[in-house]
Amino acid sequence: MASTDRLGGTGILPKMKRKKVADSCSHDEYKIKFQGLNIFIVERKMGSTRRTFLMDLARKKGFRVNDKLSDAVTHIVAENNSWNEIWDWLQIHKLSNTNTLEMLDISWFTDSMGAGKPTQTTCPEQSDPVPVSKVAAISQYACQRRTTLNNKNKIFTDALEILAENCEFNENERSYVVFARATSVLKSLPYAISSMTMLEGLPNMEVQPRAIIEEILEDGKSSTVESLLCDERYKATKLFTSIFGVGLKTADRWYRLGFRTLEEVQAAKDLKFTKMQKAGLMYCEDISSFVNKAEAHAVGQIIEKFVHKCVPNATVTLTGGFRRGKEIGHDVDFLITCPEEGKEEGILHKAVHSLPQGLLLYYDIIESTMEKNKIPSKQYDVMDKFQKCFMILKLNNTLVQNSDLNLHSESGIKLAYETAEPERQIESKDWKAIRVDLVIVPIQQYAYALLGWSGSRHFERDLRRFSYHEKRMNLDNHVLYDKTKKVFLTAKTEEEIFAHLGLEYIEPWERNA
């Protein structure tokens, strides 16, 4: 009983205060306007007098308020309590509906009282309940969290991603990681952050991101982010690195030379461009715009057609953000493999060279640099050792419109570029330049490559960090090496890789970390 009294709640008030509660307004005196809510106000850190006042106020406004905590309660209101504290307190009561309770800060309550109705963001008919059990068990690793595209904290993650990007531009790896990890945690939460107390107990919430979140909660925006968005160096770096073939060093050199726009860069007579940069600048308008799912599917049909001409049983798999369920992306990535070992060799050159000249706007083939039995590094490496081709394809709009059809079947339908007139295409611009990456993968390493190329980037970083720190294993896009047993672990599927690491399998659409 002593511990229950300390935590607060119903059935714990001294006898005199019980009488005060009994004398307070009952539901019989007021009409209940909001049938979907059944509120319980937590006395812990609030006090019985304030709790009684708030209960009466809510009833006067038409809210149903429970005196006692029971399975009938749908919403819990607390003040100055962290979510983990409330979670621990709830365990004492052993409710059957703990996982569907929505936990609300007192700020929601006061806003609702002022409006005379439940605020929109937490009305039961308009939002999902917060699964409290998940709040108490959020891992520091993205590979142990399920992160869908349903981001309930976009106002914070958008700001933090801008700051993380700027840290990358300035090659400040430490600060980049701080912002990236905080962003990843926020994206995984099944509820929206509405007060700083809700950050308590969450992993990876260091001083820098907390300060940004607090400022947004108070002012609706971050002055730091607003200032950065107006910063000349940040804007120029972001613009220049969006060009195909331009990295940070080149972008920094252009900035130091005084360039601020692409027009200035293109007009410069003394600048020398690589073949890739020339193509990037030539098609920058198309490439800088988003690729949608229909366009990605249409590109896949083209690639499959010419790959299967070389090896009929080859597999072409769409990866990247589109595999994770995204509707748009910046480019389209495909893994190509064959069921027979060694059969994948030569496919890339044959397939690329068989593409019609008018279709292939640019390509650059990077040969494989794989070393057998090489132990993967513990560091995250964006580039792997597979043979790959970076290309720009001319995608005809007609093909995109028909992308839901089986265009390479025996139906007699031809691909759009096979019947179009090239001169007319250029004049009317009924096509779009699309960035495409093709990666050739030996069948033995396909599962690891598929996992690595599916992303997201932070999910992959944390997967490798988890492997190294928690399992004494090194993971990359090629292999998984067990440092304890000193063996390479084989896997035919992504599920097997997760099993090797002792992780619960996470679907691609839940890896949007």
Domains of the chain plus CATH, in order, are 38-115 (3.40.50.10190), 142-229 (1.10.150.110), 231-288 (1.10.150.20), 291-405+430-510 (3.30.460.10)
Statement: residue 17 has pLDDT above 70 = no
Percent of the chain with pLDDT over 70: 83
Decide if 384 is catalytic.
Answer: no
The two three-digit tokens of residue 58, written as one number: 């809510």
Q: In 365-374, which positions are buried (b, 16+ CB within 10 angstroms) versus exposed (e)?
A: eeeeeeeeee
Statement: residue 243 has pLDDT above 60 = yes
The two three-digit tokens of residue 466, written as one number: 């988890």
- pLDDT at residue 425 in the model: 39
Give one DSSP letter per residue of 189-247, joined into a string.
-SS---SGGGGTT-TT--HHHHHHHHHHHHHSS-HHHHHHHT-HHHHHHHHHHTSTT--
286 is in an annotated binding site: no
Q: In 418-442, which positions are buried (b, 16+ CB within 10 angstroms) versus exposed (e)?
A: eebeeeebeeeeebbbbbbbbbbbb
Lowest-confidence region among 119-128, 338-347, 387-396: 119-128
Q: What is the tens place of the pLDDT at every residue in 28-80? A: 567 888 877 889 999 887 888 888 888 998 998 889 999 888 888 888 888 87
- pLDDT at residue 115 in the model: 82
- pLDDT at residue 90 in the model: 77
Decide if 381 is catalytic.
Answer: no
Q: Where are the alpha helices (DSSP H) in 8-153?
A: 15-23, 48-60, 83-93, 106-115, 132-135
- pLDDT at residue 373 in the model: 72
Q: Which helix (H) or strand (E) holds 96?
A: none
Decide if 331 is catalytic.
Answer: yes
- pLDDT at residue 23 in the model: 39
Provide the pLDDT confidence category of residue 403 given band limits of 50, 70 and 90. Answer: low
The two three-digit tokens of residue 141, written as one number: 């690793």
Lowest-confidence region among 11-20, 107-116, 309-318, 335-344: 11-20
* Catalytic residue chosen out of the listed positions 286, 331, 384, 462: 331
Residue 309: strand, helix, or coil: helix
- pLDDT at residue 338 in the model: 96
**pTM for the complete prediction?**
0.72
Statement: residue 480 has pLDDT above 70 = yes
Statement: residue 2 has pLDDT above 60 = no
Distance CA 293, CA 304 (A): 16
* Gyration radius of the chain over CA positions: 28
Higher pLDDT, 53 or 439: 439
Provide the pLDDT confidence category of residue 380 given band limits of 50, 70 and 90. Answer: low
DSSP at 468: H
Q: What is the tens place of the pLDDT at every residue in 215-237? A: 999 999 999 999 999 999 999 99
Higher pLDDT, 27 or 240: 240
- pLDDT at residue 137 in the model: 66
Averaged confidence pLDDT in the chain: 84
Q: What is the mean pLDDT of residues 237-254?
A: 97
- Across the strands, what pairs with 434? 393
476 is in an annotated binding site: no
331 is in an annotated binding site: yes
* Catalytic residue chosen out of the listed positions 333, 384, 462, 476: 333
Q: Give the 3-state secondary structure percentages of the chain, helix then strand then coil, rounded to 5.
A: 45, 10, 40
Rounded (5°) CA angle 401-286-363: 95
Statement: residue 423 has pLDDT above 80 = no
Q: What is the tens place of the pLDDT at every residue in 92-151? A: 777 777 767 788 888 888 888 888 888 754 333 333 434 444 444 689 999 999 999 999
